[in-house]
Amino acid sequence: MFEIPMLPKWLNRGIEECFPTQNSDKTLSDCINNAYKNSKKLRVKLGIDPTGTDIHLGHSILFKKLRAFQDNGHTAVLIIGDFTAQIGDPTGKNKTRIQLSEQQVKENAKTYLTQLGFGKPSNESILDFDSKDKIEIRYNSEWLKGLDLNSIIELMGSSTVSQMLSKEDFNKRYNSQIPIALHEFLYPLLQGYDSVAVNSDIELGGTDQKFNIAIGRDLQRYFKQKPQYGILLPILTGLDGIKKMSKSESNTIGLSEDPLSMYSKLEKVPDNLIPSYFELLTELDLDLIKEKSPRDLQRRMAFEVTSLFHGKEEALKAQSNCEKLFLGLKEKVEDIPEISLKEIRFPVKFFYLLSALNLFKSSSESKRLIKGGGVKIDSEKVIEPDMVFNSKQDLVGKILQIGKKITKRFEN
């Protein structure tokens, strides 16, 4: 990871890049040291667009870093992009995104805050929502919804087409003659204007957000504010060990997943992911990576991460249950999340059952995994997709395991 001279230990871990660089007149280290000397609270911005319903571990890296700023006396400015979510961030997309309705965005925002621990004590939540001087929750519709045409033209006049086409995703689409809708150029400008509206000192983002954060700096200069610093954190690789963690790739671990599902996925991550998961998802000493075997590291990392989101007691239960499942001791397994069969019409073929329970996106996907030996019932592989279950009694009480991802107990 990127090493930044003079940064405090609580901040330095896991940073990929920060800017402006150390060759500038004032560095991020100077900013933090001056704030400490002058007893100033830095305003640290993190924007999230509620375009879905789930936050996964990849997202949690940013929130953990934001919490570190809170714990060291600074103010987290959490911006819910309820306006920008209706446009959709074009970053990483090779086509124009479908725009969401205002109601969809509002519902998604509620689930996001719940997963971050809103309403819980600070020692049980990812962000500290208890200390009112350490958190601001702002919705960007507050300042974006009321922009008139003159204001929008002024915003657009602060940037150029060539500047927008320097953004990698736009550049690829332009050169490949894939349409770019004009409103997509507005997205980085509106997100950048968020930094002006809240007068942020620092903005956090993934490495794919560098362009958007830099636009925020440009707009702050344009509106006579001091430009924010950017801190970029790595994009977490998903459970497949290849692509970034993303729900569309079916390689995620959601923060709202039950302890057993979370633990069982984490303890099976590919060996090549262990160092990055250790560094980005835990606070464990990184020297452990040199001393322990991959299997020991998987279990330790899985326990630490599950403890962070569910507490040590639940993490210990999950660890014990995983071992029992591995040994085939299903009758001794406790607290496995249940999945109801009450909406299923019997008799039913196995592949259709799994897709009807929303465990797969499609019947063809469920067939593929069953044939590949990735599905077990009571620790026994079922490799025949067309296997027929005649009644609920064939399944009630049995444990379903799907690859590394899902463990459920069938209930009536």
Query: pTM of the full predicted structure?
Result: 0.78
Rounded mean pLDDT, 373-386:
81
Q: Tens of pLDDT along 150-185? A: 999 999 999 889 889 988 888 889 899 998 888 888
Please count the residues of the chain. 412
Q: Which of 288, 296, 278, 287 is nearest to 237 (CA)?
A: 278
CA distance 376 to 383: 9
Asked whether residue 328 carries a pLDDT value surpassing 60, the answer given is: no
Q: What is the pLDDT of residue 138?
A: 96
pLDDT at 333: 57
pLDDT at position 326: 62
Residue 52 has pLDDT above 90, yes or no: no
Output the average pLDDT for the chain.
86
Higher confidence at residue 256 or residue 328? 256
Res. 76: pLDDT tops 80: yes
- d(Cα 200, Cα 66) in Å, to the nearest integer? 13
Domains of the chain: 9-233 (3.40.50.620), 257-332 (1.10.240.10), 338-411 (3.10.290.10)
Grouping H, G, I as helix, E, B as strand and the rest as coil, residue 271 is helix
- Percent pLDDT > 90 in the chain is 42
**In angstroms, what CA-CA distances link 336 with 263, 267, 331, 364, 393?**
12, 17, 11, 27, 19
The residue-averaged pLDDT of 188-201 equals 96
256 vs 185: CA distance, rounded Å: 33
> pLDDT band at 3, cuts 50/70/90?
low
Statement: residue 191 has pLDDT above 90: yes
Is pLDDT at 194 greater than 80 in this prediction? yes
Tokens of 304: 């630490």
Place of tokens 């019409």: 345
Asked if pLDDT for residue 1 goes beyond 80, the answer is no
Contacts of residue 194, Cβ cutoff 8 Å, sequence gap at least 6: 45, 47, 79, 81, 84, 140, 143, 144, 200, 216
b/e code 243-258 from CB counts within 10 Å (16+ = b): ebbeeeeebbbbbebb
Question: Which residues pair with residue 17 across a beta bridge?
Answer: 232
